[in-house]
Structure 1
Amino acid sequence: MSSLVERFLSYIVIDTQSNSESTQCPSTSGQITLAEQLKAELSALKLADVSLDENGYLMARLPATTMNVPAIGFIAHMDTASEASGNNVHAQLISNYQGGDIALGNQGERLSPEQYPFLNQLIGHDLITTDGSTLLGADNKAGIAEIITALDYLTQHPEIDHGDICICFTPDEEIGRGADRFDVKKFAAQWAYTIDGGPVGELEYENFNAASAKVICHGLSVHPGSAKDTLVNAMNIAAQFQMMMPSDETPEASAGRDGFYHLATLKPSVARTELHYILRDFEQDGMARRKAFIQTQVAQLNAKLEHGSVEVEITDSYANMREQITPHPQIITIAKTAMQELGIKPLIKPIRGGTDGARLSFMGLPCPNIFTGGYNFHGIHECITIDGMQQAVDVIIKIAQKTAQWAHQ
């Protein structure tokens, strides 16, 4: 377990925050810095086919120890989210957590079970937290550390039957580009698992259908000193449009299998204001309804406006991977059984978001998602349990074993 933690702590000090404004791949140089370090580690383990391409995709393969077993893969992403700083990360280790608030550094930030009740379930666990000034980076450097630790174990235990195990560490997942330049043919796995989930037991093979809608409000800018009966303020039009959207179908008003409309960003000016929405629904017909609704709202507002206008551009983002995975039931059965044999209760639930696995599934690589043991991703209250990380390692190893057993039935 110490090597697992040491790996993780060595990864999080490298700033790999991705940048949606960049057109490069990877979008930031820190991701290449981490990739080079990981490449050296994989080479030291004497894995086969270790390669880092010009786009920052790092692949390797642990050769099979037995014949006639399908090649499977494990995938994690190197970048961290933009919601909090990923620079100058200082982790805290909390041994044998006994409940109550955890002070994050000395600036007054706290991790409280009153705000985060899941902490009450972690009594007696060893935790890693932030110091309250940055995110931790468990999303997804914990997944990387867990995959490499599992491979390290398997290389030391060649008596364990498994097929080829393919791994890939990807760039820019947090900005939606992690699968953009993923070479599925080169990866050469029949199916894979992203190690990118949260609490212990998570096993996810269903996610939102996703689209984005850019609502563009057109006004007319003139000098405010001579604006009477002439100026048309696009921001006022945008405010009218937002008030026409359903307040009970937003992220803060939804859970479970509920979809939503989410006003994510705003680019305001008098002459032109853009409202950027994300649309989410688990069902295809539900997504079609949401697209039609937002188009209807645009038409209705245009009909009411005496001056100015509104238009909308809708773009599909990703689809529900369920339809690509359920035709291959062994992918889920193997993972579920692996957890159960390790005494872990599988938590099968839909992802209220998306993963690289969603897009990879539609690229011919069915790819559900498995837990890392982390909580509160994308913010300064991020934390992870060391026990949960080790359990993720155990699940990866067990999946490799169970795949061989399944193939030899």
Structure 2
Amino acid sequence: MSNYTNFNKTLAQRFIKYAMIDTQSDPSSLTCPSTLKQKNLGSVLVQELIEIGISDAEMDENGYVYGTVPSNSDKKLPIIFFCSHMDTSPDCSGENVKPIIHDNYQGLDIILPDDNKIVLKLSDHEDLKHQIGNDIITASGATLLGADNKAGLAEIMEAVSFLMENPEVKHGTIKVLFTPDEEIGRGVDKADLKKLGADFGYTVDGETLGSIEDETFSADGAILIIHGVSTHPGFAKGKMESAIKIISEVIDTLPKDNLTPETTHQKEGFIHPVSIAGQVEQAEAQFIIRDFTDEKLAEHGLLLTKTVEEVMLKYPKSAYELKITPQYRNMKQVLDQHPKIVQYGIEAIERTGVVAKQQSIRGGTDGSRLSFMGLPCPNIYAGEHAFHSKQEWVSVQDMEKAVQTIINIACIWEERG
């Protein structure tokens, strides 16, 4: 077991430093990274890796950060990577983040100073009940915190620093990969897997202490364009077919009591409109489609298609385009073929004195796509909670356990090599 401790508070300091750098990604941008400001954090990470002793640390033109912790073992071992993403969600401002440490949390409401309507209540955040006596970091109420996924960045960096400073802790070659644009679904679009040179890895981007996720949604995206008929509204009787109203009718016709994010949980999937825009003549809606099996995902896509076709029968002068595009697939399909990767992750968690929780995630990670690109990659917890919101928080003590878990993973693979 590693003897990592955080007496000098470097973990919290790293995290706060990263959280204060605005790295919000932009889904409307066509560049990579989608926002140049993500490279500001990338540059900081490269410099810190070099200072730690990672001589090959670099950031490429697309904003991906790479580095190698050399093996100190005589054994021939697989090359493992650890991955976190640098961007924060477009759903909530990440500009001028002001992290606050709430020492020795005692279960009382946490009222955030920049907006006293933003209150963290024990009744609203189930995991807070496990944090009594711990140190909680939040933002100030005006922004998200960025623990998703800067907690993971800080934890990987802290683990790398520990391994470089403690050569008696034996491990194989460890790679780090920090990605841009994960929050907008492009996290590994331009990752250089040849440069990474790994056999498999672990994303560090999960929520609850002790969790390891080996199953994600399978995911498709859909774009529906309606071509309506526009005329002067004063002379429109029997002529106008409004694309706005047609696309609204499609959305209204889809199920409301099931197959929606707000009515589903656990292993239930959904069809979810995420944006709508347009005029009378043409309107467009974007959807995400999610489920845990490819078969159910296909059924949801077929339901959307049939719904559009049925609505369009009422509007014979109008036309539509519907394009459904694969986004990622349930990584369990790959990870089940490599059981040791998850088994060693579970053991690494339990060596820290924490009960491991093997579970599914109602979302996706960079690991979902990396798994299908030939790099099996489950997701371990980073301790982030209430992400994409102004109530986002993370526990310093949970982050410490995550660092220990990362180090333990490296040790276990060396021990069993």
**1:83 corresponds to:** 91
Asked whether the equivalents of residues 184 and 364 of structure 1 are also in contact (C-alpha less than 8 Å), the reply is: no
- Please say if 1:22 is aligned against 2:32: no
- Please say if 1:102 is aligned against 2:110: yes
**1:299 corresponds to:** 309
- Partner AA of 2:43 in structure 1: E
Q: 1:380-400, CA deviations, whole angstroms, 9 ceiling, x for partnerless residues?
A: 000000000000000000000
Asked whether the equivalents of residues 298 and 311 of structure 1 are also in contact (C-alpha less than 8 Å), the reply is: no
3-state SS of paired residue (2:360): coil
| Structure 1 unaligned blocks of 5 or more | none
In the TM superposition, residue 62 of structure 1 has moved relative to its aligned partner by 0.5
**1:58 corresponds to:** 65
Aligned equivalents of 2:82, 2:245: Cα separation in 1: 49
Aligned equivalents of 1:176, 1:14: Cα separation in 2: 21
Aligned equivalents of 1:11, 1:306: Cα separation in 2: 55
| Paired residues, number | 407
In the TM superposition, residue 106 of structure 1 has moved relative to its aligned partner by 4.1
- Partner AA of 2:410 in structure 1: A
Task: Rate the CA distance shift 1:80–1:217 in 2: closer, same or farther, 3 A.
Answer: same
Q: 2:387 aligns with which of 377, 386, 406?
A: 377
Q: 1:186-225, CA deviations, whole angstroms, 9 ceiling, x for partnerless residues?
A: 1111110011111111101111110011122221112212
Asked whether the equivalents of residues 204 and 348 of structure 1 are also in contact (C-alpha less than 8 Å), the reply is: yes
Aligned equivalents of 1:348, 1:268: Cα separation in 2: 44
Q: Which runs of 4+ in 1 moved over 4 A?
A: none
Aligned equivalents of 1:58, 1:310: Cα separation in 2: 42
Q: 2:336 aligns with which of 309, 320, 326?
A: 326
Q: 2:246 aligns with which of 225, 232, 237?
A: 237
Asked whether the equivalents of residues 280 and 287 of structure 1 are also in contact (C-alpha less than 8 Å), the reply is: yes
Q: 1:337 aligns with which of 330, 342, 347?
A: 347
- Partner AA of 2:77 in structure 1: V
**1:149 corresponds to:** 158
In the TM superposition, residue 70 of structure 1 has moved relative to its aligned partner by 1.1
Asked whether the equivalents of residues 264 and 276 of structure 1 are also in contact (C-alpha less than 8 Å), the reply is: yes
Aligned equivalents of 1:175, 1:239: Cα separation in 2: 25
Aligned equivalents of 1:71, 1:354: Cα separation in 2: 24
Asked whether the equivalents of residues 301 and 310 of structure 1 are also in contact (C-alpha less than 8 Å), the reply is: no
Aligned equivalents of 2:33, 2:319: Cα separation in 1: 38
1:119-138, aligned counterparts within 5 Å? 119-138=128-147
In the TM superposition, residue 113 of structure 1 has moved relative to its aligned partner by 1.8
3-state SS of paired residue (1:304): coil
**1:31 corresponds to:** 38
1:177-326, aligned counterparts within 5 Å? 177-247=186-256, 248-326=258-336
- Partner AA of 2:111 in structure 1: A
CA RMSD of aligned residues (A): 1.2
In the TM superposition, residue 171 of structure 1 has moved relative to its aligned partner by 0.8
Asked whether the equivalents of residues 207 and 319 of structure 1 are also in contact (C-alpha less than 8 Å), the reply is: yes
Aligned equivalents of 2:42, 2:221: Cα separation in 1: 31
**2:356 corresponds to:** 346
Aligned equivalents of 1:23, 1:263: Cα separation in 2: 22
3-state SS of paired residue (1:399): helix
Q: 1:163 aligns with which of 169, 172, 175?
A: 172
Identity over aligned residues, as a percent? 41
Aligned equivalents of 2:115, 2:154: Cα separation in 1: 29
- Please say if 1:70 is aligned against 2:101: no
Asked whether the equivalents of residues 189 and 365 of structure 1 are also in contact (C-alpha less than 8 Å), the reply is: yes
Asked whether the equivalents of residues 127 and 208 of structure 2 are also in contact (C-alpha less than 8 Å), the reply is: no
- Given the two structures, how large is their TM-score scaled by the length of structure 1? 0.97
In the TM superposition, residue 297 of structure 1 has moved relative to its aligned partner by 1.5
In the TM superposition, residue 288 of structure 1 has moved relative to its aligned partner by 1.4
| Structure 2 unaligned blocks of 5 or more | 1-5
Asked whether the equivalents of residues 48 and 63 of structure 1 are also in contact (C-alpha less than 8 Å), the reply is: no
- Please say if 1:176 is aligned against 2:185: yes
- Given the two structures, how large is their TM-score scaled by the length of structure 2? 0.95
Asked whether the equivalents of residues 202 and 347 of structure 1 are also in contact (C-alpha less than 8 Å), the reply is: yes
Aligned equivalents of 2:310, 2:373: Cα separation in 1: 38
- Could you tell which deviates more after superposition, 105-114 or 5-14? 105-114
**1:391 corresponds to:** 401
- Could you tell which deviates more after superposition, 271-280 or 160-169? 271-280
- Could you tell which deviates more after superposition, 360-369 or 118-127? 118-127
- Please say if 1:13 is aligned against 2:20: yes
